[in-house]
Amino acid sequence: MQNEKWLSDDYAQEIVCLLKQSILQINKGSIPSRKRITKAALPSLFDYVDSDKRQYNLELLNYLSEKNILEVDLDKFNEVSYLRITEYGISVLRDWLDMPFISSQESEWRRVVAESCNPFTLEYSDRLIQLGYLGVYSSTELLQALNEIYAHIPSLIDSDIKLTWRQLSSKFFFGDSKFLDSYSRREKLLGLFTNIHSVIQTRAIQVSVYLASSPIAVLFVENWDTYCLLGKNEDVFLNYHLVYASGFKTSANDIRRRESVAFYFSGDFSKDKSFEKFWFSQDETIFATYFWGDLDYSGIEILKTLKLQFTDIQAWQVGYAPMVEALRSGIGHRPEYAGKENQRFVNEVACVYSENIILPALAETGLMLDQEWLTILPSDVINI
């Protein structure tokens, strides 16, 4: 409202009122439309006795038109007949009139908080309004859920019970385990209950592993179909512990902490302890480590992030080499045909092979190739 002194002028109040009504209608979802100017809407424009007030408002409408706040239409007598607030004008008027947009859901949340007589709500009303509507459920239901959390947190802390976010969500938000999957909802909840951290435990990351009987290396595989294919290839499953990489999951910061991982083993179960020793000791000398995934920038990005946790990991040339050869012979897909046009170029070195062979092939051909394309491996698989 700075420098818009006319907003407080007595003569301008008809137009100010009209503008406020229009913003309120827009807040309710109405599309800005041309508003016919009648004597009921702007009486001063039809008052030819008080010429000063009429002239003032005509000049004000002209000013708002020049500022691109309003579009003003004139009739054949050169009188104002229609007004429409422009898209630009909506945002400016919200600022001038101090009318920030509040959704109907947010407005309902504020009303329910203000009318509640619940002791918890009364005590934390300001923080609840600042917290804002959490979404999906009614405001009344959400206050009920928050009150339940408030009532039970002390007993949870005293009993040393630990819950994952999904368990907490299901317990207090109507059996809905995924309600708190939303990061913003978690942040809002933590803003209201700072001590909730003490009852949260990290959800274990599920990692599928096929254990080799004579292991000499660990191979991370990006896609499930290829992981299953390798589990049936004797040259591979005898000598490689296979790990289903599942995108970026196995590169999580705490992936090598025992309490953060739940292994699902198959293959030679007698090798589980030696595999866990490799995994949790972070001793990179126990096994060589490799990654094989899609021949695209996202696949190399997975390799790069895996390197943060498995420092000596390399691209698995046995799998990549025939894919690179195929790419250079014209086999592959354009990124935009497979929804990969937003994959970014990897400019950090993941390993020597990816830098010297894979990335140049991607850049020079403009093609990409998914891992599942290769169903028969070269015979020299174990030569690592």
| Domains of the chain in sequence order | 5-96 (1.10.10), 104-199 (no CATH), 205-373 (no CATH)
pLDDT at 1: 43
Of 25-29, 109-113, 180-184, 348-352, minimum mean pLDDT range? 25-29
pLDDT at 128: 85
pLDDT at 205: 83
Q: Residue 319: which pLDDT band, with cuts at 50, 70 and 90?
A: very high
Using one digit for the tens of pLDDT, what is the confidence trace for 40-80? 888 888 887 878 888 898 999 999 999 898 998 888 778 88
pLDDT at 315: 94
pLDDT at 380: 52
Q: Residue 106: which pLDDT band, with cuts at 50, 70 and 90?
A: confident
Question: Which tops the pLDDT comparison, 382 or 292?
Answer: 292
pLDDT at 157: 81
Q: Is the pLDDT of residue 289 over 90?
A: yes
Using one digit for the tens of pLDDT, what is the confidence trace for 163-198? 888 888 898 888 889 888 888 888 888 888 888 888
pLDDT at 295: 92
pLDDT at 268: 92
pLDDT at 28: 66
The secondary structure of the chain, three-state, reads CCCCHHHHCCCCHHHHHHHHHHHHHHHCCCCCCCEECCCCCCHHHHCCCCHHHHHHHHHHHHHHHHCCCEEEEECCCCCEEEEEECHHHHHHHHHHCCCCCCCHHHHHHHHHHHHCCCHHHHHCHHHHHHHCCCCCCCHHHHHHHHHHHHHHHHHHHHHCCCECHHHHHHHHCCCCCCHHHCHHHHHHHHHHCHHHHHHECCCCEEEEEEECCCCCEEEEECCHHHHHHHCCCHHHHCCEEEEECCCCHHHCCCCCCHHHEEEEEEECHHHHHHHHHHHHHCCCCCCEEEEECCECHHHHHHHHHHCCCCCCCEECHHHHHHHHHHHHCCCCECHHHHCCCCCCCCCCCCCHHHHHHHHHHHHHHCCEECHHHCCCCCCCCCCC
Q: Is the pLDDT of residue 125 over 70?
A: yes
Q: Residue 382: which pLDDT band, with cuts at 50, 70 and 90?
A: very low
- For the question of whether the overall pTM of this predicted structure is more than 0.75, the answer is no
Of 121-135, 170-184, 335-349, minimum mean pLDDT range? 335-349
Q: Residue 226: which pLDDT band, with cuts at 50, 70 and 90?
A: very high
Using one digit for the tens of pLDDT, what is the confidence trace for 241-259? 999 988 777 777 778 888 7
Query: Per-residue pLDDT averaged across 28-42, rounded?
Result: 78
